[in-house]
Amino acid sequence: MFITENRLKKIYEILKKRQKNLQVFTDNVKNQHNFSAILRTCDAVGVLYLYYRFLGHGELINEEITMGSHKWVIHKEVSNIDKFFQKKKEEGFQIVATYLSEDSINFREIDYTKPTLIVVGNEVQGVSKEVLKYADKQIIIPMYGMAQSLNVSVATGVILYEAQRQREEKGLYNKPSLSEEEIQKIIKKWSTEDVIKQKKKESAMRRFLSS
């Protein structure tokens, strides 16, 4: 079984729009629905790298919620927080952490066209102190209701779409941030994984029909 020409074309087109230097880190987001919704939004906005720390158990991805989008966003678990954030700083990323405090700045004041790592936090505790100490900026989405905070996947979406708006305005979706070599490498990996998944699906279906 091979991947179709059209599918390859589609993968190539999305990779040309992927924003290599707009990244997301989820600090112990534990709810499967939330994490999966974040993944799906990352795909929609053109985020290529989603990093996460997960201190829970079980599966973090629900494919009924990602609708397959988890295949097109590189998601990596981070085990060493200090090493990870130091490396991001060395790479020139501004670390923008969500923090529910009066001292935090409005999320729209950030220039997301710069290399940016957006940090969102756990459903109950928010972003941990261990991670917060690496933040260059602390941001908040203004709240005018009775509830103190938004659902984390909604908050991530709101921030990412502001980043997308700024990046569109600057024309960053019109010139690939990945080199042709990087694109080809990812296509090779993704198309192989895609075929394997398809095969698994088909054999599961065959098993089901013959049972």
Ligand X SMILES: C[S@@+](CC[C@H](N)C(=O)[O-])C[C@H]1O[C@@H](n2cnc3c(N)ncnc32)[C@H](O)[C@@H]1O
| Tokens of residue 131, six digits | 């991670």
Q: Kindly state whether residue 100 participates in binding ligand X, applying the rule CB under 6 A.
A: yes
Tell me the H-state helices in 31-80.
32-45, 63-66
152 near ligand X, judged by CB under 6 A? yes
Q: Does 155 bind ligand X (CB under 6 A)?
A: yes
* 176 burial type by CB count under 10 A (0-12 exposed, 13-18 middle, 19+ buried): middle
Strands 49-53 and 105-106 turn out to be: unpaired
204 near ligand X, rule: CB under 6 A: no
Looking at 12-20, 51-59, 118-126, 165-173, which segment touches ligand X (CB under 6 A)? 118-126
Sign of CA dihedral 35, 37, 38, 44: positive
Using the rule CB under 6 A, give the single segment among 108-116, 143-151, 179-187, 193-201 that binds ligand X.
143-151
Examine residue 44 and tell whether it contacts ligand X (CB under 6 A).
Answer: no
Radius of gyration of the chain (CA): 18
Q: Which one among 149, 162, 173, 195 touches ligand X, defined by CB under 6 A?
A: 149
- Tell me: does residue 132 bind ligand X (CB under 6 A): no
Alpha carbon distance, N-terminus to C-terminus of the chain:
24
Among 37, 126, 138, 163, binds ligand X (CB under 6 A): 126
Q: How far is the CB of 37 from ligand X (least distance, A)?
A: 12
Q: Return d(Cα 147, Cα 95) in angstroms, integer.
A: 26
From 146-154, 168-176, 177-185, 193-201, give the range in contact with ligand X by CB under 6 A. Answer: 146-154
What is the spatial distance between Cα 140 and Cα 95, in angstroms, rounded to a whole number? Answer: 14
Using CB under 6 A as the binding criterion, the count of chain residues that bind ligand X stands at 14
191 touches ligand X (CB under 6 A): no
Task: Please report, as ranges, the residues that interact with ligand X according to CB under 6 A.
Answer: 98, 100, 120-121, 123, 126-127, 140-141, 143, 149-150, 152, 155
